[in-house]
Amino acid sequence: MIAPLPSPPRILSLDVIRGIAVMGIFSVNVIAFAMIEPAYLNPGAFGGHRGVDLAMWLANYVLIDGKMRSLFSMLFGASMLLVIDRAQASGRSPARVHYARMVTLLGFGLLHFYFIWRGDILALYALVGMVAFLFRNAGLATLLATGTALMLATATTFSFGAMQMSRADVAAHRPGATSAEIKRWNENIGFLVPAPGESARETRIARAPFVLRAEHMLTERTSDPFTATLGFGLPTLGLMLFGMAGYRSGFLTGAWSRRRYRQVAALTLGIGGPVTLALGLWVIASNFHVVTIFFAFLALGGPIELAMAFGYAALIILAIRPGGALTRRVAAVGRAAFSNYLGTSLIAATIFYGGGLGLFGRLSRAEAWLLVPLMWLLMLAWSKPWLDRFAFGPFEWAWRSLARWSLEPMKKRPSIGGLATPAIAPADRP
């Protein structure tokens, strides 16, 4: 009997960054679990926009919203290249390995969307990842140039949309506005301001038994996982390409000097942080006017979120301490990021939806956020003990086994060269 090959070494920086990102993502996703859809971008629609609720919205907006998703998307692109490189090195077909993984991920994403939570991102990643494969052999300059072009194209498109929305706003609120102009405006703002009765309808569906919720998703929102690529496919692809560039250049693997990481963090966060704060205060000053939200979140937010994601990655790499207890815990969260992402969805759905506690629409923004630190502690508590014993997180094992059409061994095998390779900037490197 031929013994199985030992597992290749992990790249510690990728695991830690991924762990921070998946923890941060839940900080904003909890609002999408707990409240009607417009509340995610517009606290004026539901959940509170004064006092502690407003402070919570602003803190999440400035520090986390979009930044952690951008970071997670970049890590997806980097990890995709890592899998492709290892497949090629082992003599397997990179295309076969990659597309098997993406088709399987799409299946998980569709199940997640239809039966657990409407905010799924896995299907989007799978569909965009199928395109990103075409850039696997692209040079660093091509990856950066294409990623930049995609992000700028998205910002331009959303800016044009914001201007169209602004014109519709003026037309609908001028004296003598026609019914068609008023209808057009009301249709434009539907995703930020619920139509009369829509909040109550969405709440009823969320609190309904599982079977009725699933029926609603399967019949009324059948195409949503696919149409999402129309609005968010290009920026997601751009983020993946930046992640691939970060992997190829050594930035995400910790190969740069500590001085360069400090420079990246200072530049991106020193500019992006104040600009994001200014945008948040602008939205507040507008009393959460829908046009202002559209400009700040969608038109202007993307490039700033990307810059801050790079800054966070640099800070995380600087903070990594190989062998440190917290570093090992966070790295384990990142190694089991797929399980942690889906696991938090299962728990949050049980808390907020019908068939569980049914708390949907019953909590303020700050009250709903109290679940976040508890989920962080849970991720940190279970991930490392599990991975000390098993080779993969439970959903990682299922993804791997389904993509390979064989049951992968769960028992942990020794890594090549021992434990996870640090692959971060050494402390004595200037």
Gyration radius (Cα) of the chain, Å = 22
Confidence of residue 415 (pLDDT cuts 50, 70, 90): low
In this prediction, residues 40-57 reach a mean pLDDT of 91
Confidence of residue 418 (pLDDT cuts 50, 70, 90): very low
What is the pLDDT, as a whole number, of residue 368? 96
The whole-angstrom separation of Cα 408 and Cα 192 is 45
Assess contact for 49 and 57: CB atoms under 8 A: yes
Task: Work out the percent of the chain whose per-residue pLDDT is above 90.
Answer: 77
Residue type, 144: L
pLDDT exceeds cutoff 50 at 253: yes
pLDDT exceeds cutoff 60 at 126: yes
pLDDT exceeds cutoff 50 at 5: no
pLDDT exceeds cutoff 70 at 399: yes
What is the pLDDT, as a whole number, of residue 186? 81
In 223-302 the beta strands, taken as DSSP E runs, fall at none
In this prediction, residues 369-376 reach a mean pLDDT of 97
pLDDT exceeds cutoff 70 at 425: no
Q: Helix, strand or coil for residue 167? A: helix
The whole-angstrom separation of Cα 31 and Cα 344 is 13
What DSSP string runs through 196-225?
TTHHHHHHHHHHS-HHHHHHHHHHHSTTHH
Cα torsion 90, 125, 29, 34: sign: negative
In 314-403 the beta strands, taken as DSSP E runs, fall at none
The whole-angstrom separation of Cα 94 and Cα 129 is 13
In this prediction, residues 10-32 reach a mean pLDDT of 95
In this prediction, residues 201-224 reach a mean pLDDT of 96
322-365 pLDDT, tens per residue?
Answer: 999 999 999 999 999 999 999 999 999 999 999 999 999 999 99
Q: Please tell me which residue, 48 or 363, carries the higher pLDDT value.
A: 363
What is the pLDDT, as a whole number, of residue 325? 95
What is the pLDDT, as a whole number, of residue 282? 95
pLDDT exceeds cutoff 90 at 12: yes
What is the pLDDT, as a whole number, of residue 429? 44
pLDDT exceeds cutoff 70 at 312: yes
pLDDT exceeds cutoff 80 at 144: yes
166-177 pLDDT, tens per residue?
Answer: 888 888 888 888
What is the pLDDT, as a whole number, of residue 285? 95
Residue 152 neighbours by CB distance under 10 Å = 13
What is the pLDDT, as a whole number, of residue 414? 61
